[in-house]
Amino acid sequence: MPSRFLILDGGLGTTLEDSGFSVSSKLWSSDPALHEAVQTVHEGFLNAGADMVSTSTYQACDSLYLDNGFNKEQASELMRGAVGIARQAISKAGTNGKREIGLSLGPFGATLSPGQEYSGYYPPPWGPQGFVLDGSNRNSFNDAEGSQSISQSISALKDFHLSRLRVYAEDEATWRAIDWIMFETIPLLREGQAIRLAVESLYRELGDRYPSNDRNAWWKKPYWTSFVFPDGKAPEGSSVNEIVQTMFAGETPDTVYPSAIGINCTSPAYIRGLTEQMSQRMAVILEESDETNLVRQSPPAFVLYPDGGLVYDVVTRTWHAPKNAPSVDSAASGEDSWARNVGQVAKWAAEQEYPAKEGSQPVWRQVLVGGCCKSGYAEIAGLRQELQ
């Protein structure tokens, strides 16, 4: 397998469902009753060719467990325990070579009911208003609410993500076991900004706990921020250029840029165009950056893990075929065509370059590629075959 590619797993929750397990409880795949099943799914993805498995922590947070009869200590133990389950799966699968663990952290919207990861309708202070069934919803602030409301929203979202990160980071063995932090299915640009602030705050805390002048100290875990694009567009209307530009703007001594940025849980029909837009904007950022700039010194990876092509209804918690997705070959169904489409887009991204004094340089340091909801073992096995 070329070093330019790292194969991710597929959709954990939907693979559990498709394997006959119920994830209908309010705890979703974080339900302790599913621990053995989760390990089995991890092993299945590893055997299919995944280089990394993602933990069953997408919705996990203190409030999720507290609202379902657990105390705070139990909540923390269960959240950290998911990392241990992934480690056990890697050990049991007996795979050749290193296999990595990604800490799955969904957006704030994944903790709401109904889930808001595809629309970003967040109640105050995280957003302008919560979701209502009559359809009069909005996910961005109006002019009357002003910049102060936006700042308060970013601060509240930062606190949410920081509180979860602390649960894992406060236990050294757990934190050492994590290879990547996966902030995924992010619907709002301001939540992406909040995530970067949360990581920067955590690393200041860890710097005090583990003093080191090493820029690559062990506790500085790489993280990615992957955005969701229902119908090929960001839910709040932010452009792809704006998203990429904002996530790599404003360097300070505390800046911790994402180690990867990209797309997940988005229809395969849209990933080529979105990948092209992200790559073009990243190339401009790198070309225009000073050689001392952090992003120039350590370019990010590109992360791509689209869904299996179906659409999720957050109210009914059911899957259905998309109504308005482009009718093109890249949207064709079936494991082989899915793997071919995703693999071809990943190859294209890996080939992108930008001009530099030392000659053409790759836009993306690496391409991390896999699947999200409704992509299973066959899709990941096909993707690995496509990239070999």
DSSP-derived secondary structure letter, 233: S
Share of the chain above pLDDT 70, in %: 93
- Answer for the pair 272, 330: CB distance below 8 angstroms, yes or no: yes
Beta bridge partners of 52: 100
What are the structure tokens assigned to 262, written together? Answer: 């990209």
- Answer for the pair 44, 36: CB distance below 8 angstroms, yes or no: no
**Residue range 204-255, pLDDT digits in tens:** 999 999 988 787 899 999 999 999 999 999 999 999 999 999 999 988 888 9
**Residue range 334-382, pLDDT digits in tens:** 678 999 999 999 999 999 999 988 889 999 999 999 999 999 999 999 9
Q: What residue type is assigned to position 38 of the chain?
A: V
The residue among 125, 197, 202, 203 whose CA lies nearest residue 158 is 197
Q: Is 61 annotated as a binding residue?
A: no
Q: How far apart are CA 177 and CA 87, in angstroms?
A: 8
Share of the chain above pLDDT 90, in %: 77
Average pLDDT of span 58-79: 94
Domain boundaries, the chain: 5-117+154-387
Q: What is the DSSP string of 328-376?
A: SGGG--SHHHHHHHHHHHHHHHHT-EE--TTS-EES-S-EEE---TT--
Q: How far apart are CA 353 and CA 286, in angstroms?
A: 10
Domain 5-117+154-387 is of which CATH architecture? Answer: Alpha-Beta Barrel (3.20)
**Residue range 276-319, pLDDT digits in tens:** 999 999 999 999 998 888 899 999 999 999 998 777 666 666 76
Q: What residue type is assigned to position 47 of the chain?
A: N
- Answer for the pair 38, 90: CB distance below 8 angstroms, yes or no: no
Q: At what angle do helices 189-209 and 146-169 cross, to 10 degrees?
A: 40
Report the chain's terminal Cα–Cα distance, integer Å. Answer: 5
Q: Is 365 exposed, middle or buried (0-12, 13-18, 19+ CB in 10 A)?
A: middle
Triad 100, 260, 222: Cα angle to 5°: 50
Q: Is 347 exposed, middle or buried (0-12, 13-18, 19+ CB in 10 A)?
A: middle
